Amino acid sequence: MTTVRYPWPSGKRSAAVLSFDFDAESGFLFREPEKARHSLGDLEERRFGPRVGVDRILRLLDRLKLRATFFIPGWTVEHHFEACRRIRDAGHEIGAHGNVHEALGFLDEQQEERVMREQLEILASRLGVRPAGYRSPSWDVNAWTPDLLKRHGFLYDSSLMGNDVPYDVPTTQGPLTEVPVQWLLDDAPLFRHVYGATNAIADPGRVLQMWSKEFAAMHAENGCFVLTCHPFVSGRASRIVLLEDLVTSMRRARGVWFTTGEEVARWHAGRAAGPPATRLRRRP
Ligand SMILES: [Zn+2]
């Protein structure tokens, strides 16, 4: 009998989460506020996300009959409300992703607390969403961040790379579930043009092969395949085709649980609490 490294519900062999970080202009505004005042070119590159990319992705998910997880900064909700509303109304999960995409390495604990309150307030008041999940902008996480997330009622974080199945990050108020990410499964380092960077724009065929291989190997390892894409990057025409081809090839494997970050986290937290039958027996 083969051992199961990580048990998934209903005897599934692995889990797959498609996640989209809907940054729009927010990351650029935070990192380069001076340049953002005059560089229409940089702003428009990112506006491709709300203008074109999001709806292409929504149509793709509709064709594939898949629910995905969108992490959205407060700024994006305020400035591209209609696109965010369409994501919500299509039934996808919405998680928090900073206010103006603040990379946490630049913030002290007090500033991080303030930014956390601001983003939650915007998600609640504009979209009526109380997010279960958080993804830190640029996957930048401070030592105190897990505690902060726990205090603000988050079920899970999805910004760390310490495993490739869900795991517990300790906090002073008990464990926070981590739904881990990894650079290999991020579209930005592969597809974004950055002057001076060593990476060229990747051929979608090569990326399909790379992601398919990573999926097949993770599936054999009972892993949790979390793909991170950005609407302004992966909303480009040939990359939408790549995503469709990827999911089609993943569906040929038996026992893949296509799901959301929240469902993975609920499964993981439920396992930690112990099977219901065991809990029942303990009752007097
Ligand atoms: Zn982001």
Distance 65 CA to ligand 1 centre (A): 25
> Looking at the predicted structure, is the pLDDT value of residue 196 above 90?
no
pLDDT given for residue 199 in this prediction:
72
| Nearest to 157, CA basis, from 172, 177, 171 | 177
Centre of ligand 1 from the C-alpha of residue 230, in Å: 8
Closest by alpha carbon to 164, among 181, 143, 151?
181
Ligand 1 centroid from CA 32, angstroms: 15
Spacing, Cα 139 to ligand 1 middle (Å): 8
Percent of the chain past pLDDT 70, that is, above it, reads 95
Give the contacts of 258 (CB within 8 A, at least 6 positions apart): 15, 16, 18, 66, 247, 250
The DSSP call for residue 9 is G
Phi, psi of 26, rounded to the nearest 5 degrees: -60, -45
- Name the nearest CA neighbour of 27 among 61, 67, 71: 71
* Pair 74, 122: CB distance under 8 Å: yes
Quote the CA–CA distance of 22 and 76 in Å, as a whole number: 7
- How much is the pLDDT for 283? 43
Higher pLDDT, 148 or 2: 148
Distance 241 CA to ligand 1 centre (A): 22
pLDDT band at 26 (very low <50, low <70, confident <90, very high): very high
Task: Give the per-residue pLDDT at 136.
Answer: 98
- What pLDDT is attached to residue 274? 65
pLDDT tens readout for residues 206-235: 999 999 999 999 999 999 999 999 999 999
Q: Give the residue-averaged pLDDT of 117-121.
A: 98
**What pLDDT sits at residue 2?**
63
In the predicted model, is pLDDT for residue 284 greater than 70?
no
Reported as a single tens digit per residue, the pLDDT across 58-78 is 999 999 999 999 999 999 999
pTM listed for this prediction? 0.94
CA of 20 to the centre of ligand 1 (A): 9
pLDDT tens digit string along 143-195?
999 999 999 999 999 999 999 999 999 999 999 999 999 999 999 999 998 88
The pLDDT of residue 272 is: 74
| 92-108 pLDDT, tens digit each | 999 999 999 999 999 99
Cα gap 7→220, rounded to integer Å = 12
Helices (H), ranges, 226-275 = 231-234, 237-250, 261-272
Mean pLDDT for all residues in the chain: 94
Q: If you measure from the C-alpha of residue 12 to the centroid of ligand 1, how many angstroms do you get, rounded to a whole number?
A: 30
